[in-house]
């Protein structure tokens, strides 16, 4: 990491949605980090890809691969919350890097419009900054249920259809928890 005094700089972890929404790493005075898989997700858009590569080449963004132990922790939390099946490998990497930075003493914020990332980040007590959405205001723990026979299943139930009647499962909040952090757009 480039920062000698970790507590003075807020680190911003960038999800793919940050680039799609127009996040400009050149105007940010923060320490910007992303994961290698973000590049894979934006490579179809030549303008985004060019901006991404120039930001890396000029040191405005650091690309960091998360350690597997942090990714495993994130998967466990996301599974418990009922969001794991909605998170891509890129999403998991973004959350794992943010968790790693948090544990290392950095003050990270995830820039994302993805509600599942926001939900898991809130559970981990990591701030997020939405760009084009309002963002979540409560942590949601989910359950899965069958709209046909009303049988309830754990959030990490592996089947997509009810084992009793065969109807496709849906999900609903099991409980809502105030996350206690204001995760709004902040000015540089």
Residue 180 pLDDT greater than 80, yes or no = no
Whole-angstrom distance, CA of residue 176 vs CA of residue 178: 7
Question: How much is the pTM?
Answer: 0.74
Phi and psi, residue 168, nearest 5°: -65, 130
User: Which domains, and CATH codes, for the chain?
Assistant: 9-134 (3.40.50.1010), 141-174 (no CATH)
Q: Are 109 and 118 in contact (CB under 8 A)?
A: no
pLDDT in tens, 43-99: 989 999 999 999 999 999 999 999 999 999 999 999 888 888 889 999 999 999 999
**pLDDT given for residue 2 in this prediction:** 46
Q: DSSP class of residue 48? A: H
> Residues 67, 57, 105, CA angle at the centre, nearest 5°?
40
Pairing of strands 107-111, 152-153: unpaired
Q: Check residues 25 and 38 and name the one with the higher pLDDT.
A: 38
Half-sphere exposure of 97 (CA within 13 A, CB side): 27
Average pLDDT score over the chain: 84
pLDDT category at 178 given cuts 50, 70, 90 is low
**pLDDT given for residue 161 in this prediction:** 87
pLDDT category at 184 given cuts 50, 70, 90 is very low
**pLDDT given for residue 58 in this prediction:** 94
């Amino acid at each position: 990491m480039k920062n000698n005094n970790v507590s003075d700089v807020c680190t911003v972890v960038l999800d793919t949605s940050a680039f799609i929404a127009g996040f400009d790493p050149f105007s940010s005075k923060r320490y910007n980090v992303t994961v290698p898989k973000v590049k894979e997700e934006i490579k179809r858009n030549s303008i985004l890809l060019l901006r991404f590569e120039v930001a890396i080449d000029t040191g405005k963004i650091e690309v960091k691969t998360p350690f597997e132990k942090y990714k495993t922790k994130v998967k466990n939390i996301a599974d418990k919350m009922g969001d794991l099946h909605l998170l891509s490998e890129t999403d998991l990497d973004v959350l794992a890097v943010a968790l790693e930075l948090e544990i290392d003493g950095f003050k990270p914020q995830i820039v994302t419009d993805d509600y599942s990332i926001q939900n898991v980040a809130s559970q981990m007590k990591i701030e997020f900054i939405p760009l084009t959405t309002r963002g979540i205001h409560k942590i949601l723990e989910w359950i899965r249920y069958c709209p046909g026979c009303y049988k309830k299943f754990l959030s990490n139930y592996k089947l997509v259809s009810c084992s009793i009647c065969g109807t496709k499962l849906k999900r609903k909040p099991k409980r809502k928890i105030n996350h206690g952090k204001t995760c709004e757009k902040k000015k540089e």
